[in-house]
Amino acid sequence: MLAHAAKNANAKAALLPQFANAVQTGTMECKEINEASGIAASRKNAGVLWVHNDSGDSARVFAVTTTGRHLGTYNLSGVSVIDCEDIAVGPGPVRGRSYIYLADIGDNNAVRAEVVVYRVEEPTVSVNQQPVTVNLTNAETFRLKYEDGARDAETLMVDTNGDLYIISKREIRSRLYRVAASELTKFGTAVLRFKAELPWGWATAGDISPDGSEIAVRGYNNASVWYRPSGSNLWEAFKGKEHKVPIAAEPQGEAIAYATDGLGYYTVSEGLNQPIYYYKRLDSLSLQ
């Protein structure tokens, strides 16, 4: 039985992943979204994407449909930010609930003593609602520092167990760092520990598939996916085969996110009225 399961896992790893070329699903209609630096698919609200702007904006996230229709602006009350670079959706302290993670991790000159990730429970959003402005209270603040010195980063990923991963940007080979969910604290500074290197640098975004079996990371003009066998540590996936996947030609692509069902991924670029692209999965999700 175990041998059969291992054989199936290896076969799946060999097949995955295959995605179609980009198809435009819509255009960002909100004029306030002018530097979309991160995107994440809601786990609570069907058909909803979360996006945010790059540095210079306030602590807010935008809800949009997959066609780009503006659904609302959601402000993180009592929070000020320096340079937000990515967003993720994942588990949190209450089982069965979904949380937004906003990453204030940009540091072009690598001078910040610590970076910050904010966590707030996902609000309820309907794809049929008119645009709203909502203040999200009770956002948690997690201060983080790298074990080997300050680094610029634009990639935040949240694992299925709540662990946080940040990937550095301005290096020949981008570096993966982890802080366990159990180490996140509102009263001190947690340490980001180095776990792996990518085969290339200048990573601008990443995401973990909803079931935790794949990791997608993109640069400005490239994207790759790594398969993680069940039960293994996330960073061990980067020892495996790199699968290059399609990425649209975007003016400044800094965002990627798996769809909620894992059947594809989305990207969007900085700039006004940018297209939202979807890349449909072509391979089989499971083997008998």
pLDDT (0 to 100) of residue 123? 98
Chain centroid, CA 189 distance in Å? 22
Chain centroid, CA 21 distance in Å? 20
Q: Note the pLDDT tens digit of each residue in 85-104.
A: 999 999 999 999 999 999 99
H or E stretch at 10: helix 2-15
Q: Kindly give the parts of the chain with pLDDT less than 50.
A: 1-2, 4-5, 286-288
Asked if 196 and 176 count as a contact pair (C-beta separation under 8 A), the reply is: yes
Asked if 269 and 36 count as a contact pair (C-beta separation under 8 A), the reply is: yes
In Å, how far are 152, 159, 191, 224, 237 from 115, measured between CA atoms? 10, 19, 10, 26, 25
Q: Note the pLDDT tens digit of each residue in 154-171.
A: 999 999 999 999 999 999
> Which strands, in side-by-side order, build the sheet including 36-41?
36-41, 48-53, 60-65, 70-76, 132-136
pLDDT (0 to 100) of residue 196? 98
pLDDT (0 to 100) of residue 17? 82
pTM: 0.94
pLDDT (0 to 100) of residue 15? 59
Q: What is the DSSP letter of 110?
A: S
Domain ranges of the chain: 24-275
Top CATH class, 24-275: mainly beta
pLDDT (0 to 100) of residue 1? 45
pLDDT (0 to 100) of residue 11? 53
In Å, how far are 64, 171, 201, 236, 246 from 176, measured between CA atoms? 29, 12, 11, 11, 22
In Å, how far are 77, 161, 222 from 136, measured between CA atoms? 6, 24, 35
